[in-house]
Amino acid sequence: MHTSLHRQRKFVHIFLLTIWKKAILRLKMAVLPIVTGERTPILRAKTKPVSKVTKDVVTLIRDMEETTRAAKGAGLAAPQVNRSERVCIAMISKKLVPLVNPEITWRSRERETAEEGCLSLPDIWIQVPRAAEIIIQFLSAAGRQRELKLSGFDARVVQHEVDHLEGILITDHKRENIL
Ligand SMILES: [Zn+2]
């Protein structure tokens, strides 16, 4: 009985500690303002690769995740929150995944066209052709090298976000769409 009570107390203690840690983490996170406009310079500049996943980069990632959630977006790139690091967040398998220094290393020849919107271009919806499948390499928030093969919606979101890191917006695909 004593052991069981002890275990229960320990469990309650750990439980409270977890809630407390989560609350602190939430307090530290911030919803950042989203930059808009097709001609806004930060949205048109190429980003710079991150040399090391420092505390500052992790804070940026957490804030961008919070911002994506608040805006009900499927992804967000650093230039959209006025930053020039090669960092983005993408909805992959219905989860927000941070991608540091993402590079698309392979694109399928097969393309799919679907409608896309962008948090930086409110009320604009454009049919954008994208590679149906891609392979990406990136660093995780823990600084580990990762590789993923993606298809469908996941591949589309990542291609949209990686475009942002090159200063490309969905409106640039208009011409491609008409031809
Ligand atoms: Zn966008």
What does the pLDDT look like over 41-96, one tens digit per residue?
A: 999 999 999 999 999 999 999 999 999 999 999 999 999 999 999 999 999 999 99
Active-site positions read 161
The answer to whether domain 32-178 has CATH 3.90.45.10 is yes
pTM: predicted TM-score of the whole model, two decimal places = 0.84
Cα 33 to Cα 43, 75, 175, distances in angstroms: 14, 15, 30
For the segment 96-118, the average pLDDT, to the nearest whole number, is: 97
Q: Domain residue spans in the chain? A: 1-30, 32-178
Strand partners, 138: 146
Classified as helix, coil or strand, 57 is helix
How far is the centre of ligand 1, averaged over its atoms, from the C-alpha of 101 (Å)? 17
CA of 111 to the centre of ligand 1 (A): 19
